[in-house]
Each structure stands twice: as C-alpha cells, then as structure tokens.
C-alpha cells in the first residue's frame, strides 16, 4: 500500500546489494549493504507498475517481479 517492500533472507543467507528496475529496464533504486546483511526495507517509486528487484549476494543473484498498485 505504501510501497514498502520487506526483504529478508532464509537461514544464514545474506546479501550485499539490491537494485530495482522498472518495466522498461531503467534502474530506479541501487543500494549497497554491509557484509552480513540479511534483512532490510525498501520503498518502491510512487508510480504504479511492474518492478524487478535484483538481490545480489557475492556471485549469486536473484530477481523477483513486484506489482505496484
């Protein structure tokens, strides 16, 4: 509702960066985190639409699609 997304890792997993892209592929958020970070919150842009959240942990990457209403 307010555009806040909670991000957390399972078990002992951590991440060191989060990037958010809009549907056109434009980067709208790029945050780096200290080593060992396992949870955070980010606020999506106000514009409704589809966003892709890319979470990076060392050489591992995961992308999640989010719908902002």
Instruction: Write out the two tokens for 14.
Output: 């951590």
Residue 1: is its pLDDT beyond 80? no
pTM: 0.89
- At residue 44, the pLDDT reads 95
The C-alpha atoms of residue 6 and residue 2 are separated, in whole angstroms, by 12
Query: 42: which strand partners?
Result: 5
pLDDT digits (tens, 9 = 90+) for 46-63: 999 999 999 999 889 999
């Amino acid at each position: 509702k307010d555009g806040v997304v909670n991000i957390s890792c399972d078990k002992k997993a951590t991440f060191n960066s989060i990037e958010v892209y809009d549907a056109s592929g434009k980067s709208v958020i790029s945050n780096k985190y200290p080593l060992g970070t396992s949870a955070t919150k980010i606020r999506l842009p106000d514009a409704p639409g589809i966003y892709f959240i890319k979470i990076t942990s060392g050489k591992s990457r995961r992308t999640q699609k989010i719908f902002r209403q």
